[in-house]
Amino acid sequence: MKESPAYKSGFVTLIGRPNVGKSTLMNRLIGQKVAITSGKPQTTRERIRAVLTTEEAQIVFVDTPGIHKPKHRLGDYMVRTSEQTLGEVDVVLWLVEPTTFIGAGERHILEQLRRVRTPVFLVINKVDQVKREEILKVIDAYRKELEFQEIVPLSALKGSHTDVLLRCIVDYLPQGPMLYEPDTLTDQPTRRLTAELIREQALAALEEEVPHGIAVTVESMKERKAIYDIEATIFCEKSTHKAIILGKGGEKIKTIGTKARMEIQDLLKKKVNLRLWVKVRKNWRDKAASLREFGYERKDLG
């Protein structure tokens, strides 16, 4: 792809409270799954970069953990990651629910946004769930709180008006060359993506109290001619949680493995032989060493 002198490139971050649809929107904009999604909050735990390359611009989306009140060291890391990103990008997309109620979580984000000079777009997600008149009321409520460069109502799930958002983003990007090769989709290593796909299926299968206390590591990943042999471990914090993950007669872990294998095969474009283990690591979310081991906290942040 030949770049014109007017070519644009830059970084765009997605912020918002947990479970507002940031990963769903990023996957929709990229046109491919690069971040896991779940109906449970705090699914995303770190910054994930996804790259969209067009003939006029290269947009590097940075999906961040939801901004929330942390309850442990992992939570501190997630919030710190989100807030640090605000001053490092060219455009901030703030995703909100289509409601006029601006709660404590949104007001905390507003305080963060008032301190940045980065252009901020208000993105009202899930508009397919409300009437048009309600959307206008939401716009009016948020306009009173902050001056936004753009306001875009859309549905990440349905894909409505995401094209409008992309056009607005390109308008605010600086001129510059591509930052990544044109065929790049994400900066996440294959092992990391594989671990996240396993965690996604665990989130979908497990009871309410278990998901936030699990982490997944890929122990080995060997490629043969027509197949990948992958061994991974699901870590949890309690022995009772281990029993839930395994399920009666191992049925739960079998379901997680089967669904994860299908997702990983779609990612790798090859057949996958997946073996899963479950281990207990008590209170790992409050231990710096465990967070570093699982890839959630750099040594300089320990």
Q: Let me know whether 152 and 242 are in one domain.
A: no
Q: Which pairs from 27-33 meet CB under 8 Å and 24+ separation? A: 28/156, 28/157, 28/159, 28/162, 29/59, 29/61, 29/162, 29/165, 29/166, 30/61, 30/185, 32/185, 33/267
Judge whether 222 lies within some domain.
Answer: yes
Decide: 211 and 237 in contact? Cβ < 8 Å: no
Residue 1 belongs to some domain of the structure: no
**Per-residue confidence (pLDDT) for residue 40, from 0 to 100:** 40
Q: 273 and 247 share a domain?
A: yes
Q: Residue 38 — very low, low, confident or very high, per pLDDT cuts 50/70/90?
A: very low
pLDDT for res 298:
45
Residue 186 has pLDDT above 50, yes or no: yes
Mean pLDDT of the 9-23 span: 86
Q: For position 54, what pLDDT does the model report?
A: 92
The answer to which of 40-44, 73-77, 114-118 has the lowest mean pLDDT is: 40-44
Query: Which domain range does residue 242 map to?
Result: 190-301
Mean pLDDT (the chain, rounded)? 83
Residue 203 and residue 168 in one domain: no
Counted domains in the chain: 2
pTM of the model: 0.66
Give the mean model confidence (pLDDT) for residues 182-191. 79
Q: Read off the pLDDT of each residue in 204-213 and give the average, rounded to a whole number.
A: 72
Do 234 and 118 sit in the same domain of this protein?
no
Q: pLDDT band for position 15 (50/70/90)?
A: confident
